[in-house]
Each structure stands twice: as structure tokens, then as C-alpha cells.
Amino acid sequence: MLSYTIRRLLMLIPVLFGMTFIVFFMIRAIPGDPAQVILGQLATEDAINSLRAELGLDQPWFTQYFEYLKQLFTLDLGESLRTKAEVSEEIWPYLAATFELSFVALLIAVVVGVNAGIISAWFQKSWFDYTAMVIALVGVSMPIFWLGLMEQWIFSVQLDWLPPSKRENVKNPVETITHFYLIDTLLQGRMDQFIDVLKHLIMPGIALATIPMAIIARITRSSMLEVMRSDYIRTARAKGQKMFWVVYKHSLKNAVIPVLTVIGLQTGLLLGGAILTETIFSWPGIGRYIYNAIEFRDYPVIQSGILVVATIFVMINLIVDLLYAFIDPRIKYN
Amino acid sequence: MKKKSIFLALVFIFVLGIALVGCGSEAPTEEKQGETNENNEGTKDDQNQQSEESSTESTLVFGRGADSVDLDPALVTDGESIKVTLNIYDTLVKYGDVDTSIEPSLATDWTTSDDGLTYTFNLREGVKFHDGTDFNAEAVVYNFERWANGEKSSFYYYGSMFGGFKGDEGHVIQEVKAVDELTVEFTLSRPQAPFLQNVAMPPFAIASPAALEEHGESFTENPVGTGPFVFQEWKRNDRVVLVKNENYWMKDYPKLEKVIFVSIPDNATRLNELIAGEIDIADGVSPNDSTRIEGEDDLQLFVRPSMNVGYLGLTNTRPPFDQKLVRQALNHAVDKEGIIAAFYSGQAVPAKNPLPPVIAGYNDDIDPYPYDLEKAKELLAEAGYADGFEMELWAMPVPRPYMPDGQKVAEVIQSSFAQIGVKAKIVSYEWATYLEKARNGEADAFLLGWTGDNGDADNFMYVLLDKDNIGSNNYTYYSNDQLHDILIEAQSNPDQTAREDLYKQAQEIIHEDAPWIPLVHSTPILGGKNNVNDFFAHPTGSQALTKVYFD
């Protein structure tokens, strides 16, 4: 197991190396010169050239790429062309914002999705089963921006239950320590702010959770159905074990592997794919951070932002793979 | 039976969950009101929530589409940055609340020499920068010297409005001198008619020399001016917080204690925020949403006077658009009224000139090209394109005040063009790419627009259509020597009436040459809560919130 883990970790190096290469050259293939974008419409040719020189953009591509790699080896993510701040310092609040949102979304997706899948399997062909699966189908195909706006219209404009967007009440801002607002407010004992932050999380959380929730529900249902038809479950039931116990202990444990795979994949997608949700809900997360950087052709931010997200993505997949073995002792990595 | 009871229990838990979410949000008013006061650590206690409530209505939350780029106005060209800096800094002279007339600001009065080469400003006494240092003539000199000696890569507005930098041939400001503590004298190398209009522009706001020295490059994130509000916090991509300048020179102003600019990128979300009462003013409301604001009792609509133009540029160097007849034909083939009715909810007037009507020098005698497809076909036939031709029509990918939906407008134009045999293929690129490719002359025809900076005709005509600006803002590569002479003459002639005549002539030439199809002058709209008073939506697109108060 340990050697497998180390091997997998070592494999990350070429993967991430390839990633830096692709991202580096792809963003430079987009037309649009950072110097031009930074200086704006009124800039003169002279001005643009002098800024290009200052930023090192007049160097050949491969020189720039090797400079970038050299920086990465010293764990230096570079400096934003626009804000002049170190990317490694600047990126954390955005990452934390996305983590927090993704965590809540994942929680909703897993709790609701897994349970809906179980109940559907359990009461197969009941009205609940049909309703849940129709909702899951709609959930997968629903555009996030539409769902987000509908949520806002219903829960903010009509019912006035939840704030329409943003991460916190700007008139009563959270004092940041870790940049995870739920944790920060608790650390400071600000229950009022904790509830406020929670309320801000609900709608974007649901919007972001919808697709994974639907997928998880469907996968759970089908793998539960398979497991529940198996002999040992029938035996357990014949022995008079309580239905609840049979479902949540025996069946779920065996049905969980495919579900876990989906959860792992969806977590990565949540991180990267949060951009629409972040836009609709004015969420200052990593998706918008990278998106804005692309708009400004802020190369170091785009490169490092994508690299960080990619690293997290592969790490999550690694963790999921390791969890398989933990959950199902039959799986061995050698 | 067992099955059923477990199922009921689960349904119960589900319903309970939903109910709890509902209950949890029963007390929004209390929480919404809380306001952290930096100087008062004790406000964190719940007991103090009560006292904070009273001050809430002195905090204005301004919702806008994007974050600022920088907070040093001399460095930026984007409107979102200026919207904030206008509240932190003052300029020597400023625009009126609702128009671009010139009013005193840091200068109380000024004189101009007869030859138009010397401007002497008397400065306001007792003004202090937010860092406590004195505002005086030396500070003005320091700022102008900073820009004039600036790296060419930095101060574009300075270079563009004053003909370059120190040592450049066209540089207008020869010298800025402190005559005494409160008098500053500008010597120009040639008369510049819109000089005062230019000096009033937000990029030429006076910053604290001490703070500039202290912060160096990071000044842009630690702005210090003399303006109505003091900078407090900037969370990028999220919000900028300003607090009242207690020592502001305008007596009894500003009225607000705090202003928070929040970025809410999606237009519909911003409107939802306004209706839900989370923000007080929503900038950049889609024209089609104006009825929704009017339908809400506690909201009001602010209409920004139109000082913009939206147009379809025809790249004059690309065949067949290098033929005047073709350009004129296409001018006949666009139904501007129809476009306005469909996509601007009537919040725009059709354009016939590059200048909006509010600007001095507007030529109202020009007869617009009527929407006449037969005439268009005739002209095309005359140009040798009786069977039409194929072209690309570029649609803007982002909404702008003058163009709320480029794609849809392009579709309408496409269908009109089809009726005269011109097959237009709609093309769009990401915004920065779009601008760069259009600037390189790669488009056949492209939608674009311009919002005036200073209310002067020069800022439209010279900037957008003079041959000097090809490769810059003259995206159509239109070049006419006669027009160039007129525009340069109008730039330097101090006689306002003579200038207006020159601009009228210029519009005739442009009308005849038809380098563009001028489409609309829109009136951008904002939404606000009903209790917001004395908010003046300024034609330049940004306004100080000095006078705003809540009832």
C-alpha cells in the first residue's frame, strides 16, 4: 500500500509537468497581448513594447517556459502581471472560498443523492422512485445559471429567506483567519455571522450540488439494486434482520465503491467547474479568479491557478483510489 | 407496515429540514443590519447589535458588474476603477453634478491668458490629504511632474489627453509651477481648447505626494487623496470599502458614513440583490429590466444622460468596404428604430452622427440615411455588387451600456443585410481577442461603441475617426486628410463657437464618407432603493457619491 502510494505520488510529477507545458503554450496561443490588455485601449505602441520588455514577454517562448519551470522548482508561483502580488499569497482566499462552497455542495450532493438513491432502490417502482429519478434526470440536464436565477427569484426575491448572492453580508463582514468563513466565525464565536455565512452557502451549494447529486442518486440506486438482489442480502433478510440495518450496513457498504468513484470525480469537477455558479452567485472563488486572469491575459495567474486546481484534482483521485482499499479489503494495490 | 413507517420517518426528516431552513432565515433584518466599526472593537458583542442598527442607513452598497483594476486613477482606463477613485480623490476642477460643465473643486478659481497658453489656478485653503498632509501647489506640481515624467507604459490618459510626455514633440503641458503655497501656473506649448475639460477628468486627480513616496508601486492599493471618502479595504474580485472623510472641505458633506462597492458580475443577480434589499444601487441594469424596477414600489430608476455611441464599424481598407458606395448602401440597410424597440426598451435614440446630441458641436442638420432597402440595392448595384457579397459581421461578446446584447443586434442587422443580397456571417471572439483583432483591421464589420470621457467633441471625433488614431481607437482605418486638418484645428482653437462650427463640418464629411453605421445613443439605466436621494447618474459613467443620503 505504501509503495503504491509513493508510486502514485511519483507519477504525479510527469502528469503535472505535462500540465504546465500544455497550459503554458495554450494560453500563449490565445490571441491578445497581456501588455495591450493591461494598458487598455489608449496605449501607444511604445508603451506596449516597453511593458512587454518589463514583463519578459519579448523573450522567446522556450526561454519564458524554462524561467517558469525554474521558478516552480523553488515553489515560486510567480507574480501576477496585473496586481504585482505573489500568486502563492493571492490565491489562498479564492481557493478557500471555492473549497468551502464545494464542501457544502458535496455534502448536499452526497447526503441527498445517496439517500435518494437508497430509498429509490428500496422502494423500487414506487412513486418516490419515479419522482426521484425524474428529478435526477432533470437535475443532470438543468443549466446551472438558470437554476441559480430561479433559486434567487424564489428564495430571495419572493420569500426573502436567503440572500441572493455573495459570500457574506458586506455590511457585517467576517474577519478572516483561515478564509474558511464557517470556521472563522466559529473561532471568533460569532454565531450571528456563522448563520449568515451558512445562509449565503445554501443556494450556491444547492446549485453546484445539483448535477453531482443527480448522478450520485442514479449510481447509488443502480448499485444498491444490484447488491440487494444478491444472495447474502436475501440471507440477512431471511434471518430476520431489520430492513434499515440491512440497507445501511450490508448493502450500502458493498454498493459504495462505484458511488465513491463518482464522488471523487465530481469533487474535482466541482473545483474546476464552479465558475458558472461563482458568477451567478458573485462568489469570489478560484473559478472567477482564473477567469478574470484569462480576461487580462495574466499568464502567471492562469498558469499557477490551473496548476493548483489540477494538483488538487489528481490528489483527490489518489485519495479515492486509496479509499477503495480501505473500504473493500479485497482490493489490493501492489 | 415496517417499510411504511421508516418511509414516513424519512419524509418527516426531510420536511423538518426544509422547515428549519425556513426558520433559520426568519431573522434577516437583525443580522443584515450589523455593521462592524473598525474603531470600536466592542461591536462584536451581540448586545451592541442594537446600537449599530441606527447607523445602517448611512452605509450605501453599490452593486456593479466588475471589480476595479487599480485604485490609482492615473493608471487605469476602465470605468469600474474610476467609479471608486472619483470618491477618494479630487481634481483641480470638476464636472457639474449632471453635466460636463466645469466647476471649482481643489481650485477655487482660475484665469487664462489671452493667448490661451497660461492657466493660473488658485487653490482651496486648508485642504488636507487623508494621510493628514497638506494639499498645496507643490502637491499639484508633484502629481503633474509624476505623470509627465512617467514611464510611457503607465499614464496612458496623460499621454493621450496632453499629447505625450515630457520631451515629446506634441506634449502640451510645458511647465507646471508653484507660484506660491496656493497658486499654481500651467504653461502650455500650444493652446488646447478642451484643457479645463481634460484637467477635470478623474485620471488627473491629485494624490498625496507623501503617500506616493511611501507606498511606491503599491500606492494603487493604498490610495490617498483629498476626496469625500477615505479608502479602507479592497478585497479583489469582491468589494472596495470607503469610509467618510470627516475633514472633507465641502461643509456638511459627504452625507454617508460608508460606501461599499461590491462586484456582482451577473446582471440578473444584481437586480435580484437590489429587489431583495441587499444592495442600494444597481449599476448596469439591462434595458429590458427597466419595467421590473418600475414595478417595484420601493425601487426607483436612475437614467444616465446619454453620452455614448454604439456603431457598426466598417473596416475601410477591406474590400468591398473600401468603396464609399458600399458603405452608404449598408447605412441604408439598418433599421435602427427596430433595434432600439427590441433591445433597448426604448432607452436609446437612433444615431446619425458619431457625436451624441448632448455634446456641443453636434450637427443636427445632417439628414440620416433612411432605412430604405431599395435605395441600398441601387447603391450596391452602382458599386458593382448587384448580387451582393459575403462578409463577416462581428458581434461583441460582452454587454456594454451602448450595446446590451451584441449578438442579437448583429442578428437583426444580418437579416436586413440578407434582404439586399449581402450574406453576413456572425462571428464573435472573447473580448480582449475581439478588440485586438478588430484593431488589427481583421474584421469586415464589427459592433463597438464609446462612452465619452470629458464631454468634449474632440473626445469622440478625434479619438475615434482621425487618421492619427488608426491602430488605436480608429478601428475602421478610416483616413481623410481634410477631416484631419479640421479636427486638429478644432483641437487648438480657443474660440468655442469656431470649434463647434469645425465639428459640424467634420460631421458632414464623416456622414458623406460613411466609415461607420452609427446605431444608437443609449441612456444607460441604474436601479436604486426609493430612499436613496441626491444620486446623480453622471453622463461620463462615474459619479462621486458626496451628496447621496437616505431618508
What average pLDDT does range A242-249 have in this prediction?
A: 79
Checking if the pLDDT of B460 tops 70, the result is yes
Question: Looking at residue A255, what is its pLDDT?
Answer: 78
Q: Specify burial of residue B112 (Cβ count, 10 A radius: 0-12, 13-18, 19+).
A: middle
DSSP state of B476: T
Question: Looking at residue A108, what is its pLDDT?
Answer: 93
Checking if the pLDDT of B23 tops 50, the result is no
| pLDDT bracket for residue B139 (50, 70, 90) | very high
| pLDDT bracket for residue A334 (50, 70, 90) | low
Question: Looking at residue B130, what is its pLDDT?
Answer: 97
Q: A330 at the B interface (CB within 8 A)?
A: no
Question: Looking at residue B308, what is its pLDDT?
Answer: 95
**Could you please report the per-residue DSSP string of B350-398?**
E-SSSS-TTSTT--TTPPPPP--HHHHHHHHHHTT-TT--EEEEE--SS
Q: How far is CA A284 from the centre of its chain?
A: 14
Amino acid code (one letter) for B531: N
Residue B472 or residue B410, greater confidence = B410
Q: Does A163 sit within 8 Å of B276, measured CB to CB?
A: yes
Of A216-220, B157-161, B342-346, B482-486, give the range with the top mean pLDDT.
B482-486
Q: In what order do the strands lie in the sheet with B281-285?
A: B229-235, B239-244, B258-263, B59-64, B281-285, B525-529, B299-303
Q: Return left, alpha or beta for B132; rule: phi > 0 is left, psi -120 to 50 is alpha, else beta.
A: left
Question: Looking at residue B49, what is its pLDDT?
Answer: 43
> Which cell goes with A105?
455542495
Per residue in B147-175, pLDDT tens? 999 765 578 788 888 988 898 888 999 99
| pLDDT bracket for residue B449 (50, 70, 90) | very high
Q: What are phi and psi of B537, to 5 degrees?
A: -75, 110
Q: A199 at the B interface (CB within 8 A)?
A: yes
Q: Does A166 sit within 8 Å of B278, measured CB to CB?
A: yes
Q: What are phi and psi of B445, to 5 degrees?
A: -145, 140
> Which cell goes with A133?
429519478
- CA pair distance B242, B254, nearest whole angstrom: 12
- B6 CB neighbours in chain A (<8 A) are 243-244
| pLDDT bracket for residue A40 (50, 70, 90) | low
Per residue in B349-379, pLDDT tens? 999 999 999 899 999 999 999 999 999 999 9
What average pLDDT does range B412-420 have in this prediction?
A: 95
> Which cell goes with A298?
495574466
Q: Does A171 sit within 8 Å of B260, measured CB to CB?
A: yes
**Could you please report the per-residue DSSP string of B234-262?**
EETTTEEEEEE-TT-SSTT----SEEEEE
Name B147's Cβ contacts closer than 8 Å, sequence gap at least 6.
B74, B155, B158, B165, B204
Residue B254 or residue A211, greater confidence = B254
| pLDDT bracket for residue B72 (50, 70, 90) | very high
What average pLDDT does range B4-32 have in this prediction?
A: 41
What is the residue-averaged pLDDT of chain B?
A: 87
What average pLDDT does range B458-487 have in this prediction?
A: 92
Among partner residues B156, B260, B278, which is closest to A43 by beta-carbon distance? B156
Using CA coordinates, name the residue in chain B closest to A176: B235
| pLDDT bracket for residue A43 (50, 70, 90) | low
Checking if the pLDDT of B230 tops 60, the result is yes
| pLDDT bracket for residue B29 (50, 70, 90) | very low
Q: Which helix (H) or strand (E) holds B3?
A: helix B2-24
Q: What are phi and psi of B210, to 5 degrees?
A: -60, -45
Q: Which of A137, B34, B84 shows the shortest CA–CA distance to B76?
A: B84
- A 10 A CB-CB count for B264 gives 29
Among partner residues A31, A42, A152, which is closest to B160 by beta-carbon distance? A42
- CA pair distance B523, B404, nearest whole angstrom: 11
Interface test with A, best of B4, B269, B289 (most A CBs within 10 A): B269
- B67 CB neighbours in chain A (<8 A) are 292
Question: Looking at residue A35, what is its pLDDT?
Answer: 77
Strand duo B390-394 + B423-427: pairing:
parallel
Using CA coordinates, name the residue in chain A closest to B260: A170
Among partner residues B33, B156, B268, which is closest to A39 by beta-carbon distance? B156
Instruction: Tell which A residues from 148 to 167 touch B, by Cβ distance under 8 Å.
Output: 148-149, 152-153, 156-157, 159-167
Question: Looking at residue A178, what is its pLDDT?
Answer: 92
- A 10 A CB-CB count for B375 gives 17
What average pLDDT does range B240-267 have in this prediction?
A: 95
Checking if the pLDDT of A18 tops 80, the result is yes
- CA pair distance B339, B332, nearest whole angstrom: 14
Using CA coordinates, name the residue in chain A closest to B398: A295
What average pLDDT does range B286-302 have in this prediction?
A: 91
Name B277's Cβ contacts closer than 8 Å, sequence gap at least 6.
B32, B529
Residue B220, SS3 per DSSP:
helix
- B429 CB neighbours in chain A (<8 A) are 31
Q: B31 at the A interface (CB within 8 A)?
A: yes
The answer to whether A50 touches B152, Cβ cutoff 8 Å, is: yes
Instruction: State ipTM.
Output: 0.86
Q: Does A152 sit within 8 Å of B32, measured CB to CB?
A: no
Omega prior to B320 cis, within 30 of 0: yes
Q: Does B152 sit within 8 Å of A47, measured CB to CB?
A: yes
What average pLDDT does range A284-304 have in this prediction?
A: 88
Residue A334 or residue B32, greater confidence = A334
Q: Does B265 sit within 8 Å of A171, measured CB to CB?
A: no
Among partner residues A36, A44, A280, which is closest to B266 by beta-carbon distance? A280
Question: Looking at residue B37, what is its pLDDT?
Answer: 37
Question: Looking at residue B52, what is its pLDDT?
Answer: 43
Q: A297 at the B interface (CB within 8 A)?
A: yes
Interface test with B, best of A131, A157, A282 (most B CBs within 10 A): A282
- A84 CB neighbours in chain B (<8 A) are 217-218
Which residues share a beta bridge with B310? B449, B520
Q: Does A163 sit within 8 Å of B31, measured CB to CB?
A: no
Question: Looking at residue B56, what is its pLDDT?
Answer: 52
Q: Does A280 sit within 8 Å of B473, measured CB to CB?
A: no
- CA pair distance A253, A230, nearest whole angstrom: 13
Name A140's Cβ contacts closer than 8 Å, sequence gap at least 6.
A211, A214, A215
Instruction: Tell which A residues from 233 to 252 touch B, by Cβ distance under 8 Å.
Output: 242-244
Q: A124 at the B interface (CB within 8 A)?
A: no
- A162 CB neighbours in chain B (<8 A) are 25
Give the closest-approach CA distance of A27 to chain B in angstroms. 12
Give the global pTM.
0.85
Checking if the pLDDT of A225 tops 70, the result is yes
| pLDDT bracket for residue B38 (50, 70, 90) | very low
- A 10 A CB-CB count for A295 gives 16
What average pLDDT does range B179-198 have in this prediction?
A: 94
Checking if the pLDDT of A162 tops 60, the result is yes
Instruction: Tell which B residues from 101 to 160 touch A, by Cβ distance under 8 Å.
Output: 151-154, 156-157, 159-160
What average pLDDT does range B131-160 have in this prediction?
A: 88
Omega prior to B356 cis, within 30 of 0: no
What average pLDDT does range B456-468 have in this prediction?
A: 92
Checking if the pLDDT of B33 tops 60, the result is no
Q: Is the dihedral of CA B69, B72, B78, B83 positive or negative?
A: positive
Among partner residues A82, A161, A243, which is closest to B25 by beta-carbon distance? A161
